[in-house]
Structures are given as C-alpha cells and as structure tokens.
C-alpha cells in the first residue's frame, strides 16, 4: 500500500470504537435486506429493524473510491451475520505514478461468505482505507 492519505490518517487518529460498536450490535442478527448502494456502501437491514452501513470513509482529495462485488447479495437474505474481515490485496502499478489499491471485505454469514472489494485509485500521494461500520 502506498502512503496514507489525510482522510485515512484522520480516521486512524479518531479510532474506531463507534465502528466496532455498530458492527458488534449487528452480529448474530438475521439479514432481511442487503444491498450495495449508489453511495458505494454496503447497507444491511436486519429482521429486528437495526440498520448498518459498511463503507470506506478514508476519502481525501484527488482519489476515486468505490466498492464492488461479484457475489449475489440476495442469496444472503435470511442469513445470520457472523463476522467480517478486511484483507489487503497487492497494489496495481501502471508505471505512470498512478496507483490502484484494493482491499477486500469478507463478510461471513450462516449461509457462507461474500466478498466486497474497496478500490482507491489515486496519483500516489494518497492511499489506504478506512472501512467503517455505522448505525443508520
């Protein structure tokens, strides 16, 4: 991963206690709705009405950040959320100074797991990820 951008550093300084709390509240709940929104965030609604959003909140100037998945999220409706893990992927180097970073978010449920990929394309002066859970 290249150097960290200001947005990521600010998130690191602020800690992630609120994110851990929001995610912990969701563990063990049954997923009733699940979608990748137009805001490049993963949105969960659980059978008890609790809502949670997972997104990369490390945006700095001059970056293009987006989230994708190749998995069928509708398959996981009715599953219980078990855990999630973030995994770094190698950076793509185009030889032009531009950098394309990818970080995977693997979400484990009672029906198996699905993988989201967070992308950060930038000019080499920004970087890193700050995947956070927030209660909606």
What pLDDT digit, counting tens, does each position of 84-128 carry?
998 888 777 777 767 888 889 999 999 999 999 988 877 666 667
How long, in residues, is the chain? 136
120: in domain: yes
pTM of the model: 0.82
1: in domain: no
CA 8 vs CA 16, 28, 34, 93, 123: distances in Å = 12, 29, 26, 21, 16
Summarize pLDDT for 56-91 with one digit per residue, the tens.
876 666 677 789 999 999 999 999 999 999 888 877
Q: Which secondary structure element, helix H or strand E, spans residue 19, and what is its range?
A: helix 17-26
Does the pLDDT of residue 28 top 90, yes or no? yes
102: in domain: yes
Q: What is the pLDDT of residue 17?
A: 79
99: in domain: yes
Total domains in the fold of the chain: 1
Summarize pLDDT for 38-57 with one digit per residue, the tens.
998 999 999 999 999 998 87
Domain region containing 59: 6-135
- Could you tell me if 98 and 122 are in contact, meaning their C-beta atoms sit under 8 angstroms apart? yes
31: in domain: yes
98: in domain: yes
Q: What is the pLDDT of residue 127?
A: 67
């Amino acid at each position: 991963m290249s150097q960290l951008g200001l947005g990521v550093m600010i998130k690191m300084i602020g800690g992630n206690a609120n994110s851990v709390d929001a995610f912990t509240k969701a563990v063990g709940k049954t997923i009733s709705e699940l979608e990748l929104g137009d805001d490049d965030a993963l949105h969960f609604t659980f059978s008890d009405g609790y809502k949670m959003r997972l997104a990369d909140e490390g945006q700095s100037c001059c970056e293009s950040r987006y989230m994708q998945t190749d998995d069928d999220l509708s398959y996981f409706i009715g599953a219980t959320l078990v855990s999630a893990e973030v995994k770094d992927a190698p950076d793509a180097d185009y030889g032009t100074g531009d950098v394309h970073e990818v970080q995977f978010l693997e979400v484990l449920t009672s029906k198996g797991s699905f993988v989201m990929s967070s992308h950060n394309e930038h000019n080499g002066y920004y970087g890193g990820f700050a995947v956070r859970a927030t209660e909606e």
